[in-house]
Amino acid sequence: MLVTVSERKHKAIAQAALTLFASDGYERTSVDAIAAEAGVSKRTVYSHYGDKEKLFLSVVRNTYEGMVARIAEIVEHTPWDRDVRSALTSCVTEITASIARAPERATLVRLLIAEAPHFPSLIELMHTRAITALVAAPLARLSRAGRLAAPDATQAAEHLAALTFDQVSSRSLMGTLSLSEDETSRLIAGGVRAFLCAYRIAD
């Protein structure tokens, strides 16, 4: 698939903006600096995104949605017909690895923490719980099939996240510290074990 010059410029502007917003913050980042970083004119930035605020919101939202899309693929391709413990462990491990490998993850976290108070729409973005909804869907199916006792699949997904993803995030200081595969596996296994203690149907 051929990429047009306009599409390349659009992507270059977004990447430059994400980099500069993360390093310098929204207020200190100028459109001139973004244009220079992207190798385009200031007018081109405005023609693609309108103004700095729209550019900022666009790159944050697109970055977040890109991560959600990758997680959706992982959830979709998890073999949920296998043993529940194995399926949960596989899904959580793959999602954790995908997030850890994503170079934009730490950037996104910093931007959300620093700028969300000034942009209500970012707070709404964090409250969409898109990732929770993705994980809740297979948990609901497992519950309907009698393989989990999870009448509230959304709450179950939140508990699973708290016991696994949040443990890894906390131990790694939200991705700023590197965890070994053994440590990550230990945290995930312990979280899945605790989750199943609460949600597994008694034999």
Q: What is the CATH number of the domain that holds 112?
A: 1.10.357.10
- The pLDDT, as a whole number, for residue 1 is 53
Residue 57: inside a domain, yes or no?
A: no
Same domain, 110 and 195: yes
Same domain, 21 and 117: no
Same domain, 45 and 104: no
pLDDT digits (tens, 9 = 90+) for 159-170: 999 999 989 988
Taking the C-alpha atoms of residue 68 and residue 74, their distance in angstroms, rounded to an integer, is 10
Taking the C-alpha atoms of residue 140 and residue 151, their distance in angstroms, rounded to an integer, is 7
Cβ atoms within 10 A of the Cβ of 71, count? 19
**Which range is least confidently modeled, 37-41, 102-106, 115-119?**
102-106
pLDDT digits (tens, 9 = 90+) for 36-92: 999 999 999 999 999 999 999 999 989 888 889 999 999 999 999 989 999 999 999
% residues pLDDT > 70 (the chain): 94
User: Which residue pairs from 101-105 have beta carbons closer than 8 angstroms and sit at least 24 positions apart in sequence?
Assistant: 102/67, 102/70, 104/18, 104/63, 104/66, 104/67, 105/67, 105/175
Secondary structure of residue 166 in the 3-state scheme: helix
Residue 56: inside a domain, yes or no?
A: no
Same domain, 140 and 119: yes
Domain that holds residue 31: 1-50
* Residue 170, both tokens: 């906390």
Most confident of 20-29, 42-51, 63-72, 194-203: 42-51
Q: Residues 191, 160: contact at Cβ < 8 Å?
A: yes
Count of structural domains within the chain: 2
> What's 30's domain CATH number?
1.10.10.60
Q: How many residues does the chain have?
A: 203
Secondary structure of residue 76 in the 3-state scheme: helix
Same domain, 178 and 145: yes
* Residue 8, both tokens: 């390349």
At 12, give phi and psi (nearest 5°).
Answer: -65, -40
Same domain, 186 and 93: yes
Same domain, 75 and 128: yes
pLDDT band at 2 (very low <50, low <70, confident <90, very high): low
Taking the C-alpha atoms of residue 168 and residue 191, their distance in angstroms, rounded to an integer, is 10
Same domain, 83 and 128: yes
Same domain, 120 and 158: yes
Same domain, 81 and 30: no
pLDDT digits (tens, 9 = 90+) for 121-152: 887 776 668 889 999 999 999 999 999 999 99
